[in-house]
Chains A and B, each alone.
Chain A
Amino acid sequence: MDAFAILVRRYQRPIYNLMYRMCGSVDLAADLAQETFIKAYEHLERFRPGAKFFPWLYAIGLNHARDFQRKRKPSVPCDENSLWSNATCSPHEEEDRLCDRLDNDHLDRALGELPLGYRGALLLRYHEDLPIRDVARALGISLSAAKMRLNRGLEMLRQRLKGS
């Protein structure tokens, strides 16, 4: 339990944000993140000792988000205060923040339109900065399939942003 408590502290942020990007609601995201950690805890004996915990946990989170989306079609509307409206970190100067927010808003929407597998792959690789090997492990696919998914995901994202 001690070891698991520290894992919860360590990974609550990426799992919560993954869920928020999947459902667009702060309350639901907290519930889904909580359920993800509970599932991980209940299946802890299936975790291979010595392996990286985060890809394993993220895979559980993605599956849980997939189940949630399946049950909750059509998708849940976004919160009125968007994810970006009170984001806590921005690397840019004050005058660039509005442009950034708009860019991020477009990107977030385009990301939300991608199939879950592509969305998860892109977030894991670029946002969470995981090696492709770990992305493949989290998604349960081969290394080459992960590379292909990332390339296609980026291309799909580009096409959607151009179309928006």
Chain B
Amino acid sequence: MKKPEDCPSPPRRAKNERKTQGSEELLLLERMLRRLPDREPPPDLVGRILESLAPKRISAWRRLYLWLHTPHTLSISPMKLIPAAAVVAALVVAVGTVIAPRQPALRGAKQETVKRVPVVFTLESPGAHTVSLIGSFNEWSPAGFEMRPTAEGRLWMLKIQLPEGRYRYAFLVDGRLVVADPRSPFVESDGFGNRNSIILVGGDDEREV
């Protein structure tokens, strides 16, 4: 024989049913909120934002510090280069004939050149339409660092030459999703709660990431 509480009275049963129905509706709402479709931001939004950040006022000393620590690209026309090259050549001759003989220890010193190592970056991202490589070596700009899909379309690949050193990097998938390299054992926080991958480039052999 069942106890009275196992067989709720009709009003109580109706109340329980309403409660269950209410919970199910709330769960459905949660699901609907999760799959609410998003609109794509305008393609120029990132550019607009970054352009508007540039005029931020910083002190002259800070500007000098940043300028000294930022890589710069020089573009020189050959005609303008000729006088500069003449001055440099004159200086080299002066150093070679006047200063260098007085410092015999420097003569034997080896001239260092920047060694570049080929590195292959790969990412498995079968559903992606575009994948680019961004990192501290390209100032986090994807332009010119677009990866190519392999024949099966699952793997994306890019081979670049990097000077020896330590670099932070990530992949930009479909122009909006930034993902760290899942195959890299070295990750580093960017200080904002996200992670970037780390690569150490050195030696003569080609590296594959």
Could you list which residues of chain A lie within 8 angstroms of chain B, going by C-beta atoms?
1-10, 12-14, 16-17, 20, 26, 30, 33-34, 37-38, 41-42, 47, 49-54, 83-84, 87-91, 103-104, 107-108, 111, 122-123, 126-127, 129, 154-155, 157-158, 161
Question: Which 8 pairs show the lowest CB-CB distances between chains A and B?
Answer: A53-B192, A52-B193, A87-B37, A126-B33, A16-B41, A37-B49, A10-B178, A17-B38
B34 within 8 A of A: yes
From 40 to 96 in chain B, residues with beta carbon under 8 angstroms from any chain A beta carbon are 40-42, 45-46, 48-50, 52-53, 56
Q: Complex: how many Å from CA A38 to CA B45? A: 12
B45 & A30 in contact (Cβ 8 Å cutoff): yes
- Output the least CB separation between A35 and chain B (Å): 9
Q: Which of B29, B172, B175 is packed against the most chain A CB atoms within 10 Å? A: B29
Q: Evaluate contact between B33 and A41: CB separation under 8 angstroms.
A: no
Task: Taking A8-B46, A9-B175 as given, write out 18 further A-B residue pairs in contact, using a Cβ cutoff of 8 Å, ordered by the A residue number.
Answer: A1-B53, A5-B46, A5-B140, A7-B192, A9-B172, A9-B176, A10-B178, A33-B45, A41-B53, A41-B56, A52-B192, A53-B192, A53-B194, A88-B37, A107-B29, A126-B33, A157-B29, A158-B29
A12 adjacent to B41 (CB under 8 Å): yes
**Do A51 and B193 have beta carbons less than 8 Å apart?**
yes
**Separation of A36 and B25 alpha carbons in the complex (Å):** 34
